[in-house]
Structure 1
Amino acid sequence: MTVTDAKQPGVDHRKGPRRRGDALHAAIYEATLAELDDVGYAELSMKSVAHRARASTASLYRRWSGRAELVVDALRSRASVVLEAPDTGSVRGDVLGFMRRVAEALNGPAGEAVRGLMIEAMGDPELRAVIRARFVEPATGCMLEAFRRGVVRGEVRPAALTPVVAGTAIAVLREQFLLGDRSLQDAFLVEVVDTVVVPLTSP
């Protein structure tokens, strides 16, 4: 892990002007990601983030119930994933477009942090619940919305409108991201859509 000035003696991150509103949120997210890089999720605390962000611990707890929510939101701010399936006129285009957005974020600067957090979540029920609520359920909802449009167009059978079917492509993407030996290449995304999603949903 990178050792930053948070570990150097004599550095007081509380010095300087206090931030408010969007500026405070940005400072807190930046501090959270820096702490995550320095010490990892297991050692990260609300107090250390507040210190680095020149904010009070109380101000963090007014916005987040705990470090799990804070870290996930900070990662989402870096990844900038729009959790909305584009309306391309076909279910194949909608799903592929959404998966490309997710892959772009996971292949970017936030990817390694997200991977580490997901591994940490295996042994942390609270973190796992937050990831499910902030990422997995919204992503599944995007897939379901794409499928609903497909039903109207006659591309998708109504029986495919279930969280299990909608979550299948997300699960394959997650498995490749965590355990695969390559980044989320476009050819892989196309293969998932054409060999998994389309056959599962077609009338």
Structure 2
Amino acid sequence: MTPPNPELRNPRSHRAILDSTFELAVSKGYGKLTVEAIATAAGVGKQTIYRWWPSKGAIALDAINERMGHLTDFPDTGDIEADLRSQTTALAGLLSSDIGIVYRGVIAEAQSDPHLAANVRDAIVGPRSKLCRDRLERAVTAGQLRGDIPTRAMVQLLYGPLYYRFLLGTDDVQDAPELVGYILAGLRTHDS
């Protein structure tokens, strides 16, 4: 069966579904979110929702990805530490907001839904990791960072602590940008 063409969605219904999903996940808790509740709040039938999304997690993922927008883009001022601090500050703010509440629920559901996990990687993690790797590559080329460490590993070193704090609640994610300096100490060239 061919999936429906997203361009044929009723824009008002689409908007109502995304907004209702986000608002219900924040107000009631992601664990209590159901497709039935979304349909009722959005004023659409369940079949309309299932025509476009396979699960509540897929709807919530679209809703948070849309709200994230360009908030997690990477600046390029030429100063890699300032740029990473700026970006991680923006990300920490986002994870501390209502978006973080919904995102945590989607990540939890993705642990038992391989399709949703792949969509989280494809829609959120992958594109933003690529932006980070591109920025880090420019810093390597400029001699600001070591060239012997793969940029993929650098991304994991930089963002692993933030996600650890976010998902496990071990520390405030707002403090995560301070870790950038410590991590960069090991990633910098001896000349920079």
Between the two proteins, the alignment pairs up a number of residues equal to 181
From 160, 163, 180, the equivalent of 2:169 is: 180
From 65, 70, 73, the equivalent of 2:62 is: 73
Change (3 A) 1:197 1:25: farther
Superposed displacement of residue 65, structure 1: 5.0
Change (3 A) 1:65 1:160: farther
TM-score by length of 1: 0.73
From 152, 155, 159, the equivalent of 2:148 is: 159
Higher relative contact order, structure no. (Cα contacts within 8 Å, ≥ 6 residues apart): 2
Aligned-residue identity in percent: 25
From 138, 142, 145, the equivalent of 2:131 is: 142
| Contact 1:29–1:77 (CA under 8 A) maintained in structure 2 | no
Q: Does 1:38 align with 2:28?
A: yes
Aligned twin of 2:110: 121
Aligned-residue CA RMSD (Å)? 2.8
Query: Unaligned 5+ residue runs, structure 2?
Result: 1-8
From 189, 193, 197, the equivalent of 2:180 is: 193
Change (3 A) 1:129 1:201: farther
Aligned twin of 2:71: 82
Q: Deviations over 1:78-102 (max 9, x none)?
A: 4455342011211112211211111
From 92, 105, 108, the equivalent of 2:81 is: 92
TM-score by length of 2: 0.76
Superposed displacement of residue 58, structure 1: 5.6
Superposed displacement of residue 201, structure 1: 4.7
Alignment partners' CA distance in 2, 1:73 and 1:159: 37
| Contact 1:83–1:138 (CA under 8 A) maintained in structure 2 | no
Alignment partners' CA distance in 2, 1:39 and 1:111: 12
Superposed displacement of residue 158, structure 1: 2.8
Letter in 2 for 1:44: T
Aligned twin of 1:106: 95
